[in-house]
Amino acid sequence: MGAIKPTYIKSLAKQLLKEVTEFTDDFDVNKKMVERYTNIESKAVRNRVAGYIAHKKRREGKK
């Protein structure tokens, strides 16, 4: 089992996924995209959001 993400990470990631269609299942690409489309100053929060988006995209591809 994985770690449970905080709801603020999930809600921010879901909002970004609705607005931006360019996200992929690659963490490094998503990290740059999150930096471009948000004003998150914390590197840790940016990475967690990008990782959650990558996770969601990988799961979406398996369906």
Indicate the domain borders of the chain: 22-62
**Cα dihedral 45, 47, 50, 53 sign:** negative
Residue 58 has pLDDT above 70, yes or no: yes
pTM of structure: 0.88
According to the model, what pLDDT value does residue 61 have? 77
Task: Give dist(CA 43, CA 40) in Å, integer.
Answer: 8
Contact predicate 16/23, CB 8 Å:
yes
Task: Indicate the pLDDT class of residue 63, thresholds 50, 70 and 90.
Answer: low
What mean pLDDT do residues 22-36 have? Answer: 95
Residue 22: CB atoms within 10 Å: 9
At residue 1, the pLDDT reads: 61
> How much of the chain exceeds pLDDT 90, in percent?
83
Helices 43-62, 7-19: crossing angle, 10 deg rounding: 60
C-beta of residue 38 within 8 angstroms of C-beta of residue 12: yes
